[in-house]
Amino acid sequence: MTTTQTTPTQPAAPSLSDQPGIAAHYRLQWEEVQKAWVLLYPEGMVKLNGSAGEIMQRLDGQKTVQAVIDELESSFGATGLAADVLDFLAIAQRQGWLAHHERR
């Protein structure tokens, strides 16, 4: 007898042309007491590190991932941030923090 094991399908990691936003049941907000950006949701809160906060506050569902990367590189006088941003967005996607919008 042969058994086939199936695994749940993971959403595709965002690409440079996608326009991700924050999922509807999350709210991004600056918490002065924590001195950090946080994602609030009905069951609790996720405290974001500085880099994650900088990325998440730019996700408006309108800008492409490439535009977010360009903005971050310009704001921080850095280059080569694409891999790090894409890695974070893949994690955020798996956590359910993103509303995935593909550019049409």
Question: Rounded distance, CA 30 to CA 57, Å?
Answer: 10
In a domain, 3, yes or no: no
Q: Does 40 map to a domain?
A: no
N residues, the chain: 104
pLDDT of 7 = 47
Residue 76: inside a domain, yes or no? yes
- Domain-located, residue 75: yes
The answer as to whether 44 is a domain residue is: no
Domain presence at residue 91: yes
Tens digit of each residue's pLDDT, the chain (104 residues): 544 454 455 667 789 999 999 999 999 999 999 999 999 999 999 999 999 999 999 999 999 999 999 999 999 999 999 999 999 999 999 999 999 765 55
CA angle 66, 59, 42 (to 5 degrees): 150
6, part of any domain: no
Domain that holds residue 57: 50-98
Asked whether residue 9 is assigned to any structural domain, the reply reads no
The angle subtended at Cα 84 by Cα 13 and Cα 16, nearest 5°, is 45
Give me the pLDDT at residue 4, please.
47
Terminal C-alpha separation, the chain: 46
Q: Give the pTM.
A: 0.84
Q: Give the span between the Cα atoms of 48 and 35, in whole angstroms.
A: 10
Q: What total of structural domains would you count in the chain? A: 1
